[in-house]
Amino acid sequence: MKIVILSGSPNRKGSTHLLVEAFSKGAAEAGHSVRIVDAAHADIHPCAGCVRCGYEGPCVQKDDMETIRPMILEADMLVFATPLYYYGMSAQLKILLDRFCSFNGSIQSKHMRSALLAVAWNSDAWTFEALASHYRTLVRYLNLQDQGMILGKGCGTPSMTQRSKYISAAYHLGESL
């Protein structure tokens, strides 16, 4: 299976990265190919809402989405990876997802698998409610098949995350595919 991880963390060595590494290792050891898109450091412009794409054509903007789009469309699985910022995904990941506008139909028709990897400093029971709801909405809208969510509460720093159960959970999710 071809897996593309869309990572929205601006911190290249942060807690989100640790979950992405663990998931990638588990998936690779299970025989899957894994590609990581660093959405936070890619040159991706916000959707202009011009609809010149006709919702299924090329986007008029010329940026890194020109190379990311084919990777997504060749994938069998998308993994959304993000730190929790004000109870939602990072703006960097959201910008990339907004650009799905120009190829929603192609994604929907593939019935890809998906997963969510997220970390937050907060450890309240309700910490991930809004993000999990948004992810479930994406799954429904894009006709994805959810394979699971790793929601790392209390993972505000890499050392906190390394001591948590979430690294192992991410690895096992990747390995189980």
Instruction: Report the alpha-carbon distance of residue 177 to residue 160 in Å, rounded.
Output: 27
In this prediction, residue 36 carries a pLDDT of 98
Q: In the structure, what pLDDT confidence band is assigned to residue 57 with cuts at 50, 70 and 90? A: confident
Which residues lie below 8 Å from residue 57, measured CB to CB, with a gap of 6+? 102
Q: How confident is the model over 103-153, as pLDDT tens digits?
A: 999 999 999 999 999 999 999 999 999 999 999 999 999 999 999 999 999
The runs of H, that is alpha helices, within the chain are: 15-29, 65-74, 91-98, 104-110, 129-141, 158-162, 166-175
- How high is the mean pLDDT of the chain? 97
- What are the percentages of helix, strand and coil residues in the chain, rounded to 5? 45, 20, 35
- Tell me yes or no: is domain 2-175 CATH 3.40.50.360: yes
Query: Stretch 58-63: mean pLDDT, rounded?
Result: 94
For 65-79, what is each residue's pLDDT tens digit? 999 999 999 999 999
Both structure tokens of 51: 């609809």
